[in-house]
Structure 1
Amino acid sequence: MAGLPGPFLCGALLGYLCLSGLAVEVKVSTEPLSTPVGKTAELTCTYSTSVGDSFALEWSFVQPGKPISESHPILYFTNGHLYPTGSKSKRVTLLQNPPTRGVATLKLTDIHPSDTGTYLCQVNNPPDFYTNGLGLINLTVLVPPSNPSCSQNGQTTVGGSTALRCSSSEGAPRPVYNWVRLGSSPTPSPGSMVQDEVSGQLILTNLSLTSSGTYRCVATNQMGSASCELTLSVTEPSQGRVAGALIGVLLGVLLLSVTAFSLIKFQKERGKNPKETYGGSDLREDAVAPGISEHTSRADSSKGLLERPSSASTVTTNKSKLPMVV
C-alpha cells in the first residue's frame, strides 16, 4: 500500500492537466476535398487548447506524391498577426482572424490546377502538451478536359492496320476517351476495332474501303468533355505501282539473262580459238634472215605474202659465198 501514492498522484496530475486544457488537439475532415478550377476552397481546421501568448498557427502545402517533410509554409499566425507567404500569399487568408477561438479555416481563392495537393494545419501552443497538433487535408482541383489532339499512324490501304490516338493535355480527374464513327456508313466489325478508354487509342485492323470515314474522339470527366475529329481514307494498292514493280523485276531478270548468255558464249569462243604463243626458238614467217638488208626485206614484203620462197635452203646469203676452208 505504501507504493500507491506515487501512481495515484501522477494519474491525478494528468487528469488535472487534461481538465485544465493543457493539451493540443487538431481536427480536420478525413474526406478528400475537391473544388472546381477558378473557384474558392475553404479548408476547415478546428483545435482545442488554452490559447496563450505563445500560441502559433501554421498552414503549409505539399505537392502530390511528396513526403510531408517537403511541405512549405503558405500562412503564419503568431504574436497576434497574420503572415501569408509563398506563391499563394495573395490568394490565402483565414476566415477567422484572429484564429484564437478554436477555428482556423483556410480560404484559398481563384483555385489553380497546381493547388492540388495536401494542406497541413498545425497548432503550437507551449507549454501545452502535444497530443495531436497536426491535421492533413487533401485537396483536388477539378479541371475539365482540354481540347484533345487526334493523330493517326499506320497503313491506310486495304488489308492494312492503323492506330488512331487521342490525348488531352489537361483534365482532373483524368479523362476517359471514347471513339465514335460519324455518318451513316457501316461500322467496322467488332473484331477489327479495339479501343482503350484510358490511353485513348483506337486500333483498326484488316482495313477495307468501308473503313473510310470521319472518327471523333470524346474526352470526358466529371467537369465536362471535349472532342477532336480525324478523317480516315482507305485506298486500294496502286495498280501503277504494282505494274511498275513488275516491269522492274522483269527487266532485272532479262538483264541478268543477257549477261549470263554473253559470258557463256565468250567462254566457248575462247575455248575454240586459243591464242597463238611463240617460243624463243621459233622462226616467224615475217622475220628477216641474217645477211639480208632491210631494204631487200621491205621490197620482198611489198610483193605480197604469196611469193614466199619454197624452202629456207634456197635463201642465198652473203656469208654462203665465202670460201670454206677445210
Structure 2
Amino acid sequence: MFREASPKSHKRIPWFWLIFIVSTILTSTCGLNINSSLSRYYVARGDSVSLKCEFTLAPEDLCQLEIEWFLNSADIREEDKSLIWYVNDRIHNRHDGFHFSSPDPQDGDASLTLKDVKLTDTGTYQCKVKKAPGTKSKIMQVMVMEKISKPECGINGDVKMGNKLRVNCSVLQGDHPIQFHWEKITGDRLFPENRTHFDSIQGDLYIKDLQATDSGTYRCTAANSVSEEYCDLILLPASSSAVTINIIVITIVVIITAITITTVMISGYCRRKFRIETFQLLPYKWMIGKRRGQHSAEDDSMNVVLKSWIQLESGEDPENPVCVHSDGHE
C-alpha cells in the first residue's frame, strides 16, 4: 500500500535560510526604502550643497526611527566619522558645518546640508536610516573643486588675409579637467571645417588661410564641473595693402608730431636767449647813473629796450603794450 518514507528522505530547511526568510518578511513589513538616486556631487569651494537622502515608511511601521550620517574613512583601519544623528525625536550634531536639510527628518527627508565647503570636505558620505528590524543606507561621493578664473584670449600670428593664425584661450586658476569651447558670435557664425580646428583640452583655435569672412567676435568658454567663464576676442583680418597704408599713415603722424615738438622747443629756446641778450645790453654805468638820479639821451634808448624786455617777461605783446597811467588804471 503506502510506503513509509525513510528518515533520510525527509529534508530539513537549514536554519540560516529560515532566518533570512523571516528577516526579509519583517523588512518588507516595515516598508523602509531610500528613494534618492543621485550618488555623486561636484561642489565649488565655499558653496553649499544638500546630499539627498529621502526615504519612505509604511503606515503600519511602529519601530523607532534612527538616522545617522557618516564620513567614511579612506583608510579601512580607521573608523568612519559620525557627523550627525537623529534618534528619539532629537538631533545630535557632532560636527559644525553639517545640518539636516529638514527641521524634522522623521517626515521622510534625511538629506544633509554642507555649508561653506572646504577642499577637505571631499570624500565618501553615507546616509543610514534604521527602523528595526529594517536598515537602509546610501553611499554618496562628494568632490569639492576650485572654480576657474576668467580666461584670457590672445592672438598668436600676423592678422593678415591668407596667413595661418592661432587664437589661444588660457585659464590661470581652477581645478581640472577643464574643457574649452570656441564659437563665433557675430557675422558668419559658421566655422569653415576645412580651415579651422580647435583643441578642447588646451583651448587653442587654429585658422588657416585667413579670409575676410573670418572677421567678427569670437568667444572662448572654459568650464569645469563647478563653474563656467568666457572671454571675447575681435578678429579683423587686413589685406597687405591696407597694412602698408596704415604703416605710412602712422609714420607721417609720428614725423609731424616730432617736427611740432622740435619747433616749440626751438622757439622757447630763442625766446629765452633773446631775453638774456637784451638784459645784457643794458650798460652797467647806465644803471649806476639811474641810481644817482642822472639822465641823458642814452637813458631814453635804454628805457625802450628795458620796457620791451619787461613786456616779454610778463607775457605782453610789445606791439600792443598795455598803458598804465599814474593813477594805476589802464
Query: Which has a greater percent of helix?
Result: 2
- What is the TM-score of this pair, normalised by structure 2? 0.44
Q: TM-score, normalised by structure 1?
A: 0.44
